């Protein structure tokens, strides 16, 4: 973080805090520290690794934020959320150096519902104000480097710039959610050319979801449409020149039922022509190393995924478990495909209203198709163990 950025952040916090009484502004956040052991074996000594390290955000991303609202008419409010993400172990900013990379939105809400404008989490994510997956994923947005539904579903569960979001009022427990981004990632670097917002050179994403929330049962049906940029992702004529003109689609369904003795989660996803972003090379199957070369020869995939899991109250805390399966096939080169199955386990315990300890781990077993001409099929495996503490303020 540069000195200029640090001074700007301090000035913003001070300015908003000074006007809190007038504008109902609050400062909030959390810090998450932990330790992780990770072992990866991708079938060759070149890509074997064992690491033990301190890490930030293995359960919940470390953050601080400012939020506030004002009633401008009876039942109608205008408000904002500005949320910074940072790595607590070294103090650097997350989200590609954005000051408020986790969320930066202005919203208007009333009897008509809520309209939001700015950078927010995708509907198909567990991020921020509008992400819906936290209610349908045992491990919310994912724990550690491999644990949870985020690492099975193809959509990147990320955040988007330049986004309009609408959430309807609840009618008999049913809500409608709609979202459109004119350019999800303004910092994405293409191999050739410059992306222009809401033009063919930029990616555009639209989502629509219907949710139901009852006393014990929660349901979701979500569709996502992706209009990919017509710019290449790599040098022209290479394997990373992904100028595919087809749109990408995701269909996701999920259910969550609370039996009192356990809360059970089930999800399923089908996708066509979905692109795996370069930033996700190491997390698509929870693997690194050779897989980055494999994905560069893949670009877009068709496939499906499914998860099943449960939360179980135990010893004053919550025991968590989930099992996931995913299959993907390259739509450019059918020799490239992958299968993945993983088991994740975890436990959380609240020491107080603001402090939580957690521990968990997972085992991942995959089968990757040819990563490039002449390469053999790889059978990678990985596992991790971790433990940490979260303090909220």
Position of tokens 């500005």? Answer: 82
Instruction: Please state the domain count of the chain.
Output: 1
Question: For residues 346 and 339, what is the distance between their CA atoms, to the nearest angstrom?
Answer: 24
Token pair of 280 as six digits: 């996700």
Position of tokens 């959430």? Answer: 167
Token pair of 48 as six digits: 């074997």
Query: Among residues 179, 171, 173, 164, which one has the least CA distance to residue 112?
Result: 171
- Would you say residue 3 has pLDDT above 50? no
Q: What is the mean pLDDT of residues 325-343?
A: 76
Q: What is the mean pLDDT of residues 235-251?
A: 66
pLDDT value of residue 7: 46
How many C-beta atoms lie closer than 10 Å to residue 225's C-beta?
A: 14
Query: pLDDT tier at 209 (50, 70, 90 boundaries)?
Result: very high
Query: pLDDT tier at 72 (50, 70, 90 boundaries)?
Result: very high
Question: For residues 357 and 317, what is the distance between their CA atoms, to the nearest angstrom?
Answer: 10
Query: pLDDT tier at 372 (50, 70, 90 boundaries)?
Result: very low
248-258 and 25-41 beta bridge pairing: unpaired
Query: Among residues 92, 129, 136, 133, which one has the least CA distance to residue 109?
Result: 129
Query: Among residues 81, 161, 82, 71, which one has the least CA distance to residue 109?
Result: 71
- Would you say residue 43 has pLDDT above 90? no
Which domain covers residue 86, as residue numbers? Answer: 3-392
Position of tokens 């470390």? Answer: 62
- Would you say residue 304 has pLDDT above 70? yes
Which of 62-76, 231-245, 283-297, 323-337 is predicted least confidently? 283-297
Token pair of 348 as six digits: 């959380």
Q: What is the mean pLDDT of residues 182-194?
A: 84
Which of residues 375 and 315 earns the better pLDDT score?
315
Give SS3 for 46.
helix
Radius of gyration (C-alpha) of the chain in whole angstroms: 21
Query: pLDDT tier at 216 (50, 70, 90 boundaries)?
Result: very high
Beta-carbon-side half-sphere exposure of residue 57 (alpha carbons within 13 Å): 19
Q: What is the mean pLDDT of residues 261-284?
A: 73
Query: pLDDT tier at 299 (50, 70, 90 boundaries)?
Result: low
Beta-carbon-side half-sphere exposure of residue 366 (alpha carbons within 13 Å): 30
pLDDT value of residue 270: 95
- Would you say residue 6 has pLDDT above 60? no
364 within 8 A of 340, measured Cβ to Cβ: yes
Q: What kind and span of H or E run contains 292?
A: helix 290-296
119 within 8 A of 161, measured Cβ to Cβ: yes
Give SS3 for 10.
helix
pLDDT per position as a tens digit, 382-391: 889 999 999 9
CATH of the domain at 375: 2.40.160.10
Query: pLDDT tier at 339 (50, 70, 90 boundaries)?
Result: confident
pLDDT per position as a tens digit, 133-158: 999 999 999 999 889 988 888 777 89
């Amino acid at each position: 973080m540069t000195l200029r950025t640090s001074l700007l952040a301090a000035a913003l916090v001070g300015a908003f805090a000074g006007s809190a009484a007038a504008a109902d502004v609050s400062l909030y956040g959390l810090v998450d520290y932990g330790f992780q052991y990770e072992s990866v074996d991708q079938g060759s000594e070149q890509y074997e690794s064992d690491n033990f390290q301190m890490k930030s955000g293995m359960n919940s991303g470390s953050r601080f934020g400012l939020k506030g609202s004002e009633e401008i008419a009876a039942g109608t409010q205008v408000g904002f959320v500005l949320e910074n993400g940072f790595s607590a172990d070294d103090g650097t900013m997350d989200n590609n150096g954005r000051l408020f990379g986790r969320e930066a939105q202005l919203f208007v809400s009333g009897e008509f519902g809520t309209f939001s404008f700015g950078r927010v989490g995708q509907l198909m994510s567990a991020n921020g104000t509008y992400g819906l997956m936290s209610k349908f994923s045992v491990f919310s947005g994912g724990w550690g480097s491999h644990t949870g539904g985020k690492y099975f579903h193809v959509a990147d569960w990320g955040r988007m710039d330049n986004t309009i979001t609408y959430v309807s009022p609840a009618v008999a427990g049913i809500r409608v959610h709609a979202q459109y981004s004119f350019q999800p990632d303004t910092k994405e670097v293409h191999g050739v050319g410059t992306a222009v917002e809401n033009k063919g050179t930029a990616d555009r994403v639209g989502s629509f979801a219907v949710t139901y929330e009852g006393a014990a049962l929660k349901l979701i049906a979500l569709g996502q449409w992706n209009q990919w940029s017509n710019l290449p992702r790599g040098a022209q004529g290479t394997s990373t020149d992904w100028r595919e003109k087809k749109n990408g689609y995701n269909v996701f369904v999920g259910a969550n039922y609370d039996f009192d003795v356990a809360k059970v989660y089930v999800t399923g996803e089908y996708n066509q022509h979905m692109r795996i972003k370069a930033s996700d090379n190491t997390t698509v199957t929870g693997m690194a190393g050779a897989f980055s070369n494999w994905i560069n020869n893949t670009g877009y995939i068709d496939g499906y995924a499914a998860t099943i899991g449960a939360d179980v109250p135990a010893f004053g805390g919550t025991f968590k478990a989930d099992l996931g399966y995913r299959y993907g096939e390259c739509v450019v080169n059918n020799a490239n495909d992958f299968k993945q199955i993983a088991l994740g386990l975890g436990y959380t315990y609240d020491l107080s209203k603001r402090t939580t300890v957690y521990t968990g781990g997972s085992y991942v077993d995959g089968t990757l198709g040819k990563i490039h001409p002449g390469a053999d099929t790889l059978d990678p495996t990985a596992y991790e163990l971790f433990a940490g503490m979260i303090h909220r303020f």
